[in-house]
Chain A
Amino acid sequence: MHRGAKAWLDTSGWRRRLKEYALILRLLMKSPPAAVGLIIVLIYLGIVIYDQFWVPNNDVMIANFSATGPDPPFWWPGGKAAGGWMGTTFPGIDLADAVLKAVRIDLIYSTFVVLTGALVGSLIGVVAGFRGGLFDEALMRGTDVTYSIPFLVFAIAVAFALQKRDFLTINMILLILWWPPYARLVRAQSLSVKELKFVEAARAAGASDARIMLRHVLPNTLAPVFVQISLDLGVVTQIFAALEFIGFNAGNLFLPELGNLINIGWTWGFESHPWTILMPGIALLIFTVSVNLLGDGLRDVLDPRARR
């Protein structure tokens, strides 16, 4: 009897878990919009990886001050080969190069912000939901307050207090402000999960509160968190762009960032050079559309009841 068991003990549970994830992926690919979303997100991921490892100077745009002016892309009516396939913007920046670099920066930082927010928020939320009491009450009232200030305005106010308007400050602000939605999401889920009997079984087994929260309650609240992460990737990227656009590019005017690129086009007369704002804007739009598609698909697969 023990020998039969041993053979199975050699595999860790990971093979089985991977199978579970593969199943989710298969379900996801069954829905065409979600599949499209996933594929585009993967393409963007490819761009990030390519930029990260194979592109030199990937954190600065290459300007050419002697260039005559922005050239349209070669396929534009009246376009020249010099414009490349996305055109150029002021001062002599090749948009194809800049947009790809910007995609890397926007994606890496927004992922970092969203994941940190999700991690911190989930931990706070699970403790609040599981323990309840004063901590929970304080959390709810505190997040009520953050919810009552429009996010962009809040970010402006914090940036003002910090007396800085550069990309790093935007990141810091978002890191400070991005956890409350996750805390509330996980808290609400924990309230129902903690009533399930397996939590009581774990307590009867002698598990500590910390173990119950981390091993039993938290994992069972994560489905909507993953959905939210996916949707938030788009939102945070947009916020980066929006803040850079309204003038938070003070630290580094040549930072390859989509909002900064749009800002450059805007300041220098986009009406006669529409491609200067079209190219970075389309890159941003396609990304947000695809993470939204992916998020909706994930919701259908992971969390069918919460469909809105």
Chain B
Amino acid sequence: MRLILYIVRRLLILIPTLLGVTIITFTLSHAFGPNLAIAVYCTPKLGACDINNPFLQPIVQQFHLRDPIPVQYVFYMQGLLTGDWGFTTSAIKGGMPVTQAISIFFPQTVELAITATVFATLVGIPTGTVSALRKDKLPDHATRIFALIGYSIPFFWLALLLQILAISLVPGWEITGGYSPSSISPSTEPWAFVNLGGTYQLFSQPTHFLVLDAALHGSWAVFLDALKHLVLPTATLTIGILGVVLRMVRSGMVDSMNQDYVRTAWAKGLPDWVVTRTHIRRNALLPAATVIGLLFAGLLGGVVLVEDVFAWPGIGYWATQAVLQFDAGGVMGTTLIFAIFLVLINLAADVIYAYLDPRISL
């Protein structure tokens, strides 16, 4: 019950933050002149994105683009709340509304983010534990060097490096962008092909996660193909955030190993694994929960680069395309959706922390 109250309270605190984010996207898109503002909404079919273009007058009126800035903001917000996030020209050939593009691209990004987080946690927690327990022994040194390189290495360069490795080590591996339809016939449901800046990308129903969908439909060829495409992007992100996870887990464990109650537990003669599991790790993971938010901020930054290198059809790839093609709607939409995603992740991290830590009065 108190947890629910706490969540509600944290949600209330989110409101000003999200308002702030919309003020930033609004300022970036509207403060530099009306032509930039109108570019968020205009579709290429209507002609030049100019405020004097007669075909665009309904948009000018709907969003009050000739009115003072504060008035414009009100209608910008109204648009956001009613699902009118503008029109993107870069996401897909011919363009589409931003919200629709988000529904297409977002699942891919989530897919990468989640798989990378899961792998990093699965590998990071046991390895970090071993490293702490064998402090200053060989496994510890190895882990620390790996972690150091992991959080120092630039995401985009790591992505290229892994490609080189894959090409030279795995026979027949070639550089491919995104989900390529090469292995399946495009006619069957539930797949959908979308022309993405000239190349076709495969999207699927109902979960939007191609690997899952393929398994659900029993299309093993698609499943394998999708898996193959997932390996390198996931590996890049995983290695990148694994460094942070390892550091956190290790230093948290080392700190709590030095606590009196842990020494007592050892002195009592409890078996090692009991002490580790019940006394040390639980406390060590608390600070780790706080950095989940930070981790995700880094992860989402990395997602942009990784998606770019692998032409992975997610929000990050779209964001880069948008800025390269001067697509106002795309830039603002991706910024906003990244911010909302990150803010919600931070909320989740806080809630987990509050739930784990008995000392926090909710």
Contacts and interface: CB of A to CB of B under 8 A. Distances in A.
Given A153-B304, A165-B323, A271-B175, A245 B28 contact: no
A241 interface: yes
Nearest to B315: A153
B163 to A, nearest CB: 7
B129 interface: no
Interface stretch (A66-74, A109-117, A156-164): A156-164
B161 interface: yes
Contact of B335 (A149, A162, A289): A149
Nearest to B298: A150
Given A242-B305, A262-B157, A271-B175, A153 B32 contact: no
Interface residues on A, range: 35 or more
A-B interface, 9 closest residue pairs, ranked by CB to CB distance from nearest = A145-B20, A161-B28, A288-B152, A150-B300, A281-B157, A152-B301, A160-B331, A289-B152, A150-B301
B149 A285 contact: yes
B222 interface: no
B80 interface: no
A150 B296 CA distance: 9
A271 B339 contact: no
Contact of A144 (B20, B301, B319): B20
A231 to B, nearest CB: 10
B331 A241 contact: no
A308 B16 CA distance: 30
B31 interface: yes
B32 A151 contact: no
Given A149-B339, A151-B301, A288-B152, 17 more contacts: A144-B16, A145-B24, A148-B21, A148-B342, A150-B298, A153-B304, A153-B335, A157-B323, A161-B27, A161-B31, A238-B154, A259-B156, A266-B160, A270-B164, A278-B164, A285-B149, A288-B154
Contact of B164 (A148, A158, A245, A274): A274
Contacts, number: 152
B285 to A, nearest CB: 14
Interface string B300-323: 110011001100000010011011
A148 B161 contact: no
17 contacts: A141-B17, A144-B20, A149-B342, A150-B301, A151-B301, A153-B319, A153-B334, A157-B25, A160-B322, A161-B29, A165-B324, A238-B154, A262-B156, A265-B160, A274-B164, A278-B164, A281-B160
B202 interface: no
Contact of B21 (A145, A160, A265, A271): A145
Interface of A: 141-142, 144-154, 156-163, 165, 234, 238, 241-242, 245-247, 259, 262, 265-266, 270-271, 274, 277-278, 281, 284-285, 288-289, 292-293, 307-308
Contact of A152 (B148, B149, B164, B304): B304
A76 to B, nearest CB: 13
A141 B20 contact: yes
Interface residues of B, number: 58
Contacts of B29: 161
Nearest to B320: A246
Nearest to B153: A285
B247 A156 contact: no
Interface string B280-300: 000000010000000001101
B98 interface: no
Contacts of B163: 270-271
B346 interface: yes
A148 B251 contact: no
The B interface, classified by DSSP as helix, strand, loop or mixed, is helix
A292 B17 contact: no
Nearest to B22: A145
A271 B153 CA distance: 20
A283 to B, nearest CB: 10
B47 to A, nearest CB: 20
A154 B304 CA distance: 11
B305 A246 contact: yes
A156 B320 contact: yes
Contact of B157 (A152, A163, A284): A284
Given A246-B320, A284-B154, A285-B157, A293 B148 contact: yes
B331 A157 contact: yes
A37 to B, nearest CB: 10
B338 A308 contact: no
Contacts of A163: 32, 36, 326
B241 interface: no
B169 to A, nearest CB: 13
B71 interface: no
Contacts of B305: 152, 242, 245-246
Most A C-beta atoms less than 10 A away, residue of B154, B251, B335, B338: B154
A207 B253 CA distance: 45
Contacts of B343: 148
A285 B152 CA distance: 6
A141 B20 CA distance: 8
A160 B160 contact: no
B153 A161 contact: no
B148 A289 contact: yes
A238 B18 CA distance: 28
A52 B75 CA distance: 52
A15 to B, nearest CB: 37
